[in-house]
């Protein structure tokens, strides 16, 4: 079904799409149309092994026997305009609100001052056995959200429960070693996890990988006595006016195409070593 | 600059497995030039047969665990949602997970663990374990299907054998008496002991697939498209001599010398005389392995100094060099910059050399230069500039060769990555018999692809069944047929990893309450608590 609906596997659709695209852009798409004709990938092909697909107007990149997919190659090689106000790739965002915020061109914005704004402590050791750190929640290399990472095999291939990655210096500051239980606490919530100490982490920043399983190996916290939360227990959505620009060229909402930036990831937390016994 | 390697296929491999002073794997060359297993010759092995002193313990691997999943559904109503906490798969008791199959993945554990890496120890202070100077790469490892396997030599029961027809190294489950000499002998620690069956188990190179011309599962499913499979013809009579060359740094060249050129008419004639089918010689001629190892010389053997003549070869990563360059703001695709950086970044190159060439940095240098040259050469083409032969010449290649190498490494088309001829002695007459159907670990209760048995992973496996005997056609039909897999699911369970999307095999869905024929509840589809996992 999906194979029939996607131009990458149903060449007739791709050819039709490219014809229409060519009519709209007035540029030469013959090569793409020609390659698409006659291509048909069915479920049976996929069952026999990995099956290459072809270029399609749903995507921006070209794909063929003599090349691998790379994004925007249709735009570059066939003069298809980018989906922007000018039809080009550009850094300049000509919108009144962007001007007002001084963000019409890319600018460096330091991380939000969570201390000033929300009363969080300052980054760095506090003198107690705790450290204030930037808290990032990246996707892991093993999974899309909770998919794959929480089954028994994958748990065995990692550390068997939720973890927070921390630099060697920060771990020293809280006198915690690799695999010690820690708690991360801020105004939004509490997370209990085991520490992964690594020289791969910069001092002052910790990771807690996205969507680790909340039903596996999450103890009650020392801080509240209640069950520890997940990575998002410490974050909260923050919206600023420029996120609300809509109906204006590339700022127009489209599904899976435009959304606010992930600035709720710009967060800080206190991390301390757990001192009492772990209870579930 | 620090070189760190993470070894995601270390799963189940004891810590510091490369330290043969400790683990006694592989061969040593005696002063008279003869090779003996490091764990000792026949007499020593017989003397220690009942208490093999260098057997890794379960703690050297890791203590397997599961979770009390039952709590999730049975816990009484409370203020907090229930969680499944870890239970030892050995004792069933609550446990604190403190080591796993891949504990130090992605440099987890920091300098404390990284400094235990045998290669880091060998390179000493030069390796700095700090954030600014860290990089890493992954090294997937399987059994090397060695030309001179110590595992085979060490087995007192003759249960381990290397198949003459395709070189796959297997354990005969009927002959294995559980002496475990092979576990010690394999320097790559790629033989595992199954405590439930009392037999040794290892990678089978997916031989039932390979026999019908299909790639191994690990190759076919590699999303990086970076695994290659092909035939390499070699001179079996010269293996012993090559594995015994005096200087361990000569082992790489010596092994390359044993590989035969299938285009050579003398080799073709000899192959025909020895009954090697023509399609195997033709396959060997198109072999991506031979191309990467010998023609382009960009693939290197892993730890040749173990003297087993390993046959899984690696293209070392250029990324440490490119990363370091781009970090300092340089163009990581410009040939001169890259060549300069390869000269400057000695530590990662020494580390790679310890992995692939017994410490000799020259072959690693050459590989990295060739990869660097490929980047620069191909970029010019991509940008519509003229081809620059001088880039290719600088690394002793021609532009056409670089383009061939690019095709193999970067386009990496399916039929060029895997050039697997159908089984020897089977196809011609279509009357041969294939020993076994399906995954060879797939016996009753075994850990194979058909199910996990009662408890996850190897220690769960039961007694092996006699192998099913089917003909080549039957197997091929099964592997490629339209029909559903009815009857192939073991014990009413179905492993979704193994399901080909056909039909609705029994065990796919859990049984209806109060009846139904399949009793479901298997691993794979339903992670219910295994027997050993209850407190
Ligand atoms: S890598 Fe494989 S073939 Fe080589 S010694 Fe070990 S088990 Fe045997
Ligand atoms: S699938 Fe391929 S790219 Fe992924 S870990 Fe395995 S070998 Fe590496």
Q: Taking CB atoms and an 8 Å cutoff, what residues of chain A touch B502? A: 47
> Cα torsion at B152, B158, B159, B160 (round to 10°)?
10
Please provide the CATH number assigned to the domain covering A119-273.
Answer: 2.40.40.20
Nearest residue, CB atoms, B134 vs list A47, A157, A199 = A199
Count other Cβ atoms within 10 Å, centred on residue A35: 19
- pLDDT, residue B481, reads 53
Judge whether B18 and B303 are in contact, CB under 8 Å: yes
Q: Domain with B371 in it: what CATH number?
A: 3.30.70
Per-residue model confidence (pLDDT) at position B334: 84
Cα–Cα distance between A56 and A191 in angstroms, integer? 44
In a domain, B152, yes or no: no
pLDDT the model gives residue B496: 60
Q: Which ligand is nearest to the CA of B9?
A: 2
Distance from CA of B244 to the nearest CA of A (A): 37
Region for B92 from its dihedrals, namely left if φ exceeds 0, alpha if ψ lies in -120 to 50, beta otherwise: left
Using the mean position of ligand 1's atoms as its centre, give its distance from the Cα of residue B147 in Å.
9
DSSP output for chain A: -HHHH-TTTBHHHHHHHHHHHHHHH-S--HHHHHHHTT-B--HHHHHHS-------TTSSSEEETTEEEETTHHHHHH-PPPSSSSSS--S----HHHHHTT-SS----PPP-HHHHH-PPPSEE-SSSEEEEEEE-PPPSS-STTTTTTSHHHHHTTTSS-EEEE-HHHHHHTT--TT-EEEEEETTEEEEEEEEE-TTSPTTEEE--TT--TTBS--B-TTTSSBP--GGGG------GGGG--SSGGGS--TTT-----GGG-EEEEEEE--SPP--
**pTM reported for the whole predicted model:** 0.82
Q: Say if B346 falls within a structural domain.
A: yes
Name the residue with tokens 């400790």: B22
Contact assessment for residue A139 and residue A265, using Cβ atoms and an 8 Å cutoff: no
Q: Could you tell me which chain A residue has the CA closest to the CA of B98?
A: A179
Residue A195 structure tokens: 């520490």
What number of C-beta contacts closer than 8 Å exist between A and B?
121
Q: Closest approach of chain B CAs to the CA of A43, in angstroms?
A: 9
Measured from the Cβ of residue B366, the count of other Cβ atoms closer than 10 Å reads: 16
- Dump pLDDT digits (tens) for B318-343: 888 888 787 777 887 888 888 888 88
DSSP secondary structure string for all residues of B31-69: TTS-EEETT--HHHHHHTTTS-TTPPPHHHH---EEE-T
Q: Which residues contact B400 (CB under 8 A, 6 or more apart)?
A: none
A255 C-alpha to ligand 1 centroid (Å) = 52
Place of tokens 């294995």: B176
Segments forming the whole domain that contains residue B410: 247-417
Tokens of A78: 């066939």
Domain presence at residue B306: yes
Tell me the mean pLDDT in the region A90-107. 92
Taking residue A102's Cβ as centre, other Cβ atoms within 10 Å add up to 9
Least confident of A46-55, A131-140, B252-261, B290-299: A46-55
Residue with tokens 């203590």: B63
Does B281 map to a domain? yes
Residues of chain B short of pLDDT 50, as ranges, are 1-11, 429-439, 443-473, 475, 482-491, 515-535
In a domain, B59, yes or no: no
CB neighbour burial string for A184-203, b if at least 16 within 10 angstroms, e if fewer: bbbebbbbbbbbbbbbbbeb
Q: Which long-range contacts (CB under 8 A, 24 or more apart) does B285-289 make?
A: B286/B230, B286/B416, B286/B419, B287/B230, B287/B231, B287/B232, B287/B262, B287/B419, B288/B228, B288/B229, B288/B230, B288/B408, B288/B416, B288/B417, B288/B418, B288/B419, B289/B228, B289/B229, B289/B230, B289/B231, B289/B232, B289/B313
The DSSP bridge pattern shows strands A163-166 and A189-197 to be parallel
Average pLDDT score over chain A: 89
Chain A residues with CB inside 8 Å of B528's CB?
Answer: none
Residue B276 lies in a domain: yes
Question: Is the per-residue pLDDT at A158 higher than 50?
Answer: yes
Domains held by chain B: number: 1
Beta strand residue intervals within B377-514, DSSP E: 433-434, 470-471
How far is the C-alpha of B406 from the C-alpha of B401, rounded, in Å? 8
pLDDT tens sequence across A165-213 = 999 999 999 999 999 999 999 999 999 999 999 999 999 999 999 999 8
- The interface predicted TM-score (ipTM) is 0.86
Task: Express as a percent the part of chain A with pLDDT over 90.
Answer: 55
Determine if ligand 1 sits within 6 Å of the CB of residue B202: yes
Query: Of the residues B306, B308, B311, which should be mutated to test ligand 1's pocket, given the most ligand atoms within 8 Å of the CB?
Result: B308
Region A262-268 average pLDDT = 83
Q: Kindly list the residues from chain A whose CB atom is less than 8 angstroms away from the CB atom of residue B114.
A: 199
Inspect the interface and report whether the beta carbons of B83 and A216 lie closer than 8 Å. Answer: yes
Ligand nearest to the CA of A157: 2
- How do the domains of chain A map onto residue ranges? 2-78, 119-273
How much distance in Å is there from the Cα of B2 to the middle of ligand 1?
Answer: 30
Look-up of token digits 């399906």: B438
Give the mutation candidate from A48, A77, A144, A198 for the B interface (greatest B CB count, under 10 A).
A198
Average pLDDT over residues A1-16: 88
Cβ contact, residue pair A226, B80, below 8 Å: yes
Residue B151 forms part of a structural domain:
no
């Amino acid at each position: 079904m999906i194979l029939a609906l996607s131009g990458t596997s149903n060449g007739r659709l791709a050819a039709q799409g490219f014809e229409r695209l060519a009519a709209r852009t007035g540029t030469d798409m013959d090569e793409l149309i020609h390659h698409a004709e006659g291509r048909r990938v069915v479920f049976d092909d996929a069952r026999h092994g990995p099956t290459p697909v072809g270029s399609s107007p749903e995507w921006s990149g070209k794909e063929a026997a003599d090349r691998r997919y790379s994004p925007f190659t249709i735009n570059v090689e066939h003069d298809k305009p980018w989906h922007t106000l000018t039809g080009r790739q550009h850094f300049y965002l000509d919108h009144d609100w962007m001007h007002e915020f001084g963000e019409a061109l890319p600018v460096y914005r330091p991380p939000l001052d969570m201390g000033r704004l929300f009363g969080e402590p300052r980054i760095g050791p506090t003198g107690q056995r705790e450290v204030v750190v930037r808290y990032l929640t990246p996707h892991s290399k093993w999974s899309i959200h909770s998919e794959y990472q929480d089954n028994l095999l994958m748990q065995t291939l990692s550390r068997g429960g939720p973890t927070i990655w921390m630099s060697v210096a920060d771990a020293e500051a809280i006198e915690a070693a690799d695999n010690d239980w820690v708690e991360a606490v801020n105004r939004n919530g509490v997370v209990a996890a085991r520490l992964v100490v690594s020289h791969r982490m910069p001092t002052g920043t910790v990771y807690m990988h996205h969507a680790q399983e909340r039903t596996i190996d999450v103890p009650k916290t020392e801080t509240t006595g209640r069950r520890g939360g997940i990575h998002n227990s410490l974050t909260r959505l923050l919206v600023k006016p420029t996120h609300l620009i809509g109906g204006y060229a590339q700022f127009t909402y489209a599904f899976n195409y435009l959304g606010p930036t992930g600035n709720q990831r710009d967060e800080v937390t206190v991390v301390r070593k757990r001192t009492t016994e772990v209870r579930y | 600059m620090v070189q760190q390697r993470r070894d995601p296929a270390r799963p189940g491999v004891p810590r510091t497995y490369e330290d043969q002073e400790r683990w006694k794997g592989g061969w040593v060359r005696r002063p008279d030039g003869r090779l003996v297993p490091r764990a000792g010759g026949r007499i020593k092995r017989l003397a220690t047969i009942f208490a093999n002193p260098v057997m890794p313990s379960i703690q050297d691997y890791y203590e397997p665990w599961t979770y009390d999943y039952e709590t999730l559904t049975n816990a009484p109503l409370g203020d907090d949602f229930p969680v499944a906490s870890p239970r030892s798969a050995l004792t069933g008791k609550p446990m604190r997970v403190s080591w796993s199959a891949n504990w130090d993945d992605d440099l987890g554990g920091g300098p404390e663990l990284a400094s235990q890496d045998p290669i880091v120890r060998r390179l000493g202070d030069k390796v700095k374990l700090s954030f600014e100077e860290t990089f890493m790469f992954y090294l997937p490892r399987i059994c090397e299907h060695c030309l001179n396997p110590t595992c085979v030599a060490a087995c007192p029961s003759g249960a381990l054998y290397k198949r003459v027809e395709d070189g796959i190294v297997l354990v005969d489950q009927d002959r294995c008496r559980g002496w475990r000499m092979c576990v010690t002998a394999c320097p790559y620690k790629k033989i595992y002991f199954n405590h439930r069956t009392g037999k040794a188990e290892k990678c089978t190179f997916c031989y039932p697939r390979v026999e019908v011309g299909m790639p191994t599962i690990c190759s076919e499913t590699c999303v990086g498209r970076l695994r290659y499979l092909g035939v390499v013809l070699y001179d079996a009579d010269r293996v012993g001599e090559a594995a015994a060359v005096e200087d361990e740094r000569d082992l790489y060249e010596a092994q390359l010398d044993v590989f035969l050129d299938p285009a050579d008419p003398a080799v073709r004639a000899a192959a025909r005389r020895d009954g090697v089918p023509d399609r195997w010689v033709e396959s060997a001629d198109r072999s991506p392995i031979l191309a990467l190892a010998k023609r382009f010389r960009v693939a290197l053997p892993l730890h040749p100094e173990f003297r087993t003549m390993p046959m899984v070869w690696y293209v070392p990563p250029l990324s440490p060099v490119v990363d370091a360059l781009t970090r300092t703001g340089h163009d990581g695709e410009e040939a001169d910059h890259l060549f300069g950086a390869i000269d400057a970044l000695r530590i990662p190159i020494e580390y790679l050399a310890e992995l692939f060439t017994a410490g000799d940095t020259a072959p690693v240098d050459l590989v990295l230069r060739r990869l660097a040259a490929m980047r620069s050469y191909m970029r010019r083409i991509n940008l519509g500039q003229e081809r620059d032969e001088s880039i290719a010449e600088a690394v002793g290649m021609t532009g056409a060769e670089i383009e061939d190498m690019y095709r193999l490494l970067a386009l990496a088309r399916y039929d060029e990555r895997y050039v697997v001829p159908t089984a020897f002695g089977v196809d011609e007459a279509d009357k041969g018999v294939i020993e076994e159907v399906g995954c060879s670990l797939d016996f009753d209760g075994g850990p194979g692809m058909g199910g996990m048995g009662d408890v996850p992973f190897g220690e769960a496996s039961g007694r092996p069944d006699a192998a099913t005997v089917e003909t080549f056609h039957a197997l091929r039909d099964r592997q490629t047929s339209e029909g559903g897999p009815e009857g192939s699911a073991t014990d009413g369970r179905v492993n979704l990893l193994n399901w080909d999307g056909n039909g609705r095999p029994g065990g796919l869905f859990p049984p209806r309450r109060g009846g139904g024929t399949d009793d479901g509840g298997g691993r794979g589809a339903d992670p219910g608590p295994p027997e050993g996992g209850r407190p």
